[in-house]
Amino acid sequence: MESPELYIEALVFASEQSIRVEEIMYCLQASFERDFSIDEVTESLANIKDKYTNENLAIELVYLNNGYQFLTKKNYHPVISLLQLQRSKKKLSQAALETLAIIAYKQPVTKTDVEQIRGVNCDYSIQKLLEKELIAINGKSEALGKPILYGTSPLFMDYFGINTIEELPHIKELTDNSTSIGEQQE
């Protein structure tokens, strides 16, 4: 085997989520019974990334959530949005979106904490978010009864195109001051 690039490209393509360099190295080493250096793998990834900068290709290699993934280039997003609208049956409900937002911003958080913020039972929403793998169980709280702690999953990071939770918009960025009454003082 001369260059691992085609194998790495196949691994990234076959991965449903972003794939880390360590995972790529493990797969290559197990398959070819030889050591692969991080430099060798990252150089191959850089070559693959360069290969997909071609204007005639609709996808690109993107570093996301501490790994690599093939994604559609931004100029094709409008047509992809139409496909996603067509498949909107799988869309999250308003309740699930609210629950997901609370978990994302307050994690690690218990179901009781989420319910106190929302003011309603969240069993169904949390179950759906777990099924869709947008949240994950992050252990148990030290509180009475040791309730389960929830947090966002790697799929959440992939879905929203972020590497860390710190990249989520701050609440101040999301508020619209145009509907406020009176003058604001600084």
pLDDT over 70, % of the chain:
87
All CATH 1.10.10.10 domain ranges of the chain, comma separated, are 5-77, 92-175
160 is written with which tokens?
A: 């929203």
Residue in the block written with tokens 């994950």: 136
CATH topology of domain 92-175: Arc Repressor Mutant, subunit A (1.10.10)
Round the average pLDDT of the chain to a whole number and report it: 87
Is residue 104 within 8 A of residue 114, CB to CB? The reply is: no
- CATH code of 5-77, in short, is 1.10.10.10
pLDDT one-digit tens code per residue, 89-139: 567 889 999 999 999 999 999 999 999 999 999 999 999 999 888 999 999
User: DSSP 3-state assignment of 148?
Assistant: strand
For 165-177, write each residue's pLDDT tens digit. 888 887 766 655 5
